[in-house]
């Protein structure tokens, strides 16, 4: 990422990983990639292997108590964390320090908004059987999950979470209204979208959308968002209903 400009005060993502070559990955494409090239945000992959020990830069060891796999060592990971957090705010609201873990709290649009409002974020990509619990406790590391499934490592999850967060930063999408109308922004799934041609495969655009009546369009979109949420995500609908009461 050294060849990209660094604007003063740019939102920064630091990613501790055994595979720094995985970045920027999809983050280097489309609008997030353009913003990265312009220096509107920064991406700093940190190679955990550089903090390893011995000839082979070992970063892991067998689980205490026995069992399959390997565990990332607390002392090794702590060195990388100290370097990543040097000069960064100790206030976790201003600079979240996060371990990407399937046992963590679910990542949501609310999480993305919180990260986007911070000065930056440091993400730790796990591998193997995970990391030594002591380093999580010592550094007050928050655990966040992309979903109820297990990946071979945190790199894919990191890219997804960073994409969701970066796009909420000012100037990234260009149209602030885009983030206000999409799924989850108001507690509902997004309404259906249509565009030309007016008729395709015998299917037409709903007449209300071509009526020119903005009030009716807004009402239709609200009704459709509520219908889809009620049908597809009862959990979101229940929470939405509670807020309306």
Cis bond leading into 197, ω under 30°?
yes
CA distance 183 to 175: 16
Handedness of CA 112, 115, 120, 123 (dihedral sign): negative
Q: How far apart are CA 128 and CA 220, in angstroms?
A: 49
Residue 61 is assigned to a ligand binding site = no
- DSSP string of the chain, one letter each residue: -TTS---TT-EEEEEEES-GGG-SGGGGSHHHHHHHHHTSEEEEEEEGGGG-BTTTTB-EEPPTT--SS-EE-HHHHHHHHHHHHTTS-S-TTTS-EEEEEEEEEEP-HHHHHHHHHSSEEEEEE-BTT-B-HHHHHHTTPEEEESSSS--SBSHHHHHHHHHHHHTTSTTTSS-HHHHHHSTTTTSSPPPP---S-SEETTEE--GGGGS--HHHHHHHHHHHHHHHHHHH-HHHHHHHHHHH-
The annotation status of 153 as a binding-site residue, yes or no, is no
SS3 7: coil
Is 97 annotated as belonging to a binding site?
no
Asked if residue 147 belongs to a known ligand binding site, the reply is yes
Find out whether 148 is annotated in a ligand binding site.
yes
Residue 93 token pair: 């609201």
Residues in binding site: 126, 146-151
Residues in binding site for S-adenosyl-L-methionine: 126, 146-151
């Amino acid at each position: 990422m050294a060849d990209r400009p660094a604007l003063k005060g740019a939102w920064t993502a630091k990613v501790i990983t055994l595979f720094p070559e995985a970045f920027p990955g999809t983050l280097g494409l489309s609008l997030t990639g353009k913003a990265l090239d312009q220096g509107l945000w920064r991406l700093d992959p940190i190679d955990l292997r550089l903090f390893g020990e011995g000839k082979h830069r070992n970063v892991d060891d067998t689980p205490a108590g026995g069992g399959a796999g390997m565990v990332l060592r607390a002392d090794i990971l702590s060195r990388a964390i100290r370097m990543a957090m040097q000069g960064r705010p100790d206030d976790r609201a201003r600079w979240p320090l996060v371990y990407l873990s399937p046992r963590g709290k679910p990542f949501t649009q609310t999480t993305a908004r919180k990260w986007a409002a911070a000065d930056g974020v440091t993400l730790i990509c796990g591998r193997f059987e995970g990391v030594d619990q002591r380093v999580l406790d010592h550094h007050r590391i928050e655990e966040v999950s992309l979903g109820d499934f297990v990946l071979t490592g945190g790199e894919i999850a990191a890219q997804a979470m960073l994409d969701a967060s970066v796009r909420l930063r000012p100037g990234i999408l260009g149209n602030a209204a885009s983030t206000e109308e999409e799924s989850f922004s108001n507690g509902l799934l997004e309404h259906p979208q249509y565009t030309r041609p007016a008729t395709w495969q015998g299917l037409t655009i709903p007449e209300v959308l071509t009526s020119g009546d903005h009030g009716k369009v807004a009402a239709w979109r609200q009704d459709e968002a509520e219908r889809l949420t009620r049908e597809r995500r009862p959990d979101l609908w229940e929470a939405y209903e509670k807020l309306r009461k």
